[in-house]
Amino acid sequence: MQKKEKELFKQLCSFRSDRFDKELLQHASPAVLGHLFFNRMQGAAYSVLKKNECLGAVNREFRNSLKGAYEQNVERNRSFFQCVRLLSGLLAQCGCSAAMLKGALLCRLYPEGCRTANDIDLLVHPRDVGLLGRALSEAGFRQGNIRNGAFIPAARREIIESKLTRGETVPYILEIGLPYMRFLEVDINFSLDYKNSAPDVLERMLNDTVVNEGIVTLNRSDFLIHLACHLYKEAATLPWVKMKRDMTLYKYADLYLLLDRMSDSEISEFFRCAEERGLGKICAFAILQTAELFDFKAPALLTQAKEALLEEKDFLHRVVSPGEKKTYLYRTRDITERFFLDDRVSDLQEEDGR
């Protein structure tokens, strides 16, 4: 994409911003539209155009593509919320501590139609993975993946590899047959990184859950910390880079939604919790990348994030390959420029001395 197209893309994704440059709309190209859909930001883009009374200022095909996606998002979320209620009932009978993450709560916090979810993420302690898995299996869920609209059972090797290298299970899937949601997919997360580490941190998080929007989830600071950890796990792990799922913008948008306009006291509490859990650097990684991609200014937040990385200048640019036991660094240091690269794998070079 050209420079102005990139600027328009970022503007259409910045649903919290009060700034809007109408001159950029002349660059509403197919390339911009494609990036919006690829990054799951099409609903937000339609909402931004509508809020700024600019729906008539873009090409009809550009506008109608976003409108159709937005309306589908609204209908899809009605089905999704039914699934959340179903799973909440199952968890209440399961006997293990579990917190719903990400989309289960965020779809209700975003402006209507701006955020959807393909699955429901749960956070549990590693010791409860088997118990929860059995409960899901008894309710009709099976482990596997959806490919070309059909359920494909997972092989035993895939199930084991996911637990060892991703800190989460292969999805549990139930054919539920709701509008825009034929299958309900549940992901069980039992680690904050790819190494399946910090079970004591998980224990503390799960001992301090709250009820928000009618679901059991993490408290505000821990919810943010988990989002940051999940983003870091995918952005800084080589298999995700190879799948081109490392910097999908909707994951950064979740942090943008919650971090933008935080009060100084909320920022202090967030960093206190992050440091207490030994996750200050990971949270700083997520905050600094999000701030650059969405151009939001929060001096107190950014100052604390930069201080957390003073002794780790390369932390924002490092990618780990668990299988090879190697680390790599990006040649492209600018986060926005890196985001728009067609092939980020080719931008990596092996790091010396680690």
Per-residue pLDDT tens over the stretch 233-247: 899 999 999 999 999
Both tokens assigned to 59: 């090409």
pLDDT digits (tens, 9 = 90+) for 318-343: 999 988 999 999 999 999 999 999 99
Between CA 131 and CA 126 the distance in angstroms is 10
How many helices and strands (H and E) does the chain possess? 15, 11
Tell me what percent of the residues of the chain surpass a pLDDT of 70. 96
296 DSSP 8-state letter: -
Which one of 23-27, 157-161, 205-209 scores highest in mean pLDDT? 23-27
pLDDT confidence of 163, banded at 50, 70, 90? low
pLDDT confidence of 154, banded at 50, 70, 90? confident
Between CA 168 and CA 46 the distance in angstroms is 33
Average pLDDT estimate for 38-64: 97
Residue 11's pLDDT is what?
97
Q: Look at residue 189 and tell me whether its pLDDT is greater than 90.
A: no
For residue 343, give the 3-state DSSP assignment: coil
Mean pLDDT of the chain: 92
Average pLDDT estimate for 187-215: 81
pLDDT digits (tens, 9 = 90+) for 67-126: 999 999 999 999 999 999 999 999 989 888 899 999 999 999 999 999 999 899 999 988
Q: Look at residue 190 and tell me whether its pLDDT is greater than 90.
A: no
Average pLDDT estimate for 44-62: 97
Residue 165's pLDDT is what?
60
Q: Look at residue 197 and tell me whether its pLDDT is greater than 70.
A: no
Residue 15's pLDDT is what?
96
Residue 185's pLDDT is what?
95
Q: Look at residue 16 and tell me whether its pLDDT is greater than 70.
A: yes
How many CA atoms, within 13 angstroms, populate the side-chain half-sphere of residue 149?
A: 2
Neighbouring CB atoms inside 10 A of 115's CB total: 24
Residue 118's pLDDT is what?
87
pLDDT confidence of 164, banded at 50, 70, 90? low
Q: Look at residue 195 and tell me whether its pLDDT is greater than 70.
A: no
pLDDT confidence of 166, banded at 50, 70, 90? low
Residue 250's pLDDT is what?
96
Span between the terminal Cα atoms of the chain, in Å: 35
Tell me what percent of the residues of the chain surpass a pLDDT of 90. 78
Nearest Cα to Cα of residue 329 among 239, 244, 238, 240: 238
pLDDT confidence of 353, banded at 50, 70, 90? low
Evaluate whether 188 touches 206 at the Cβ level (below 8 Å). Answer: no
Residue 237's pLDDT is what?
95
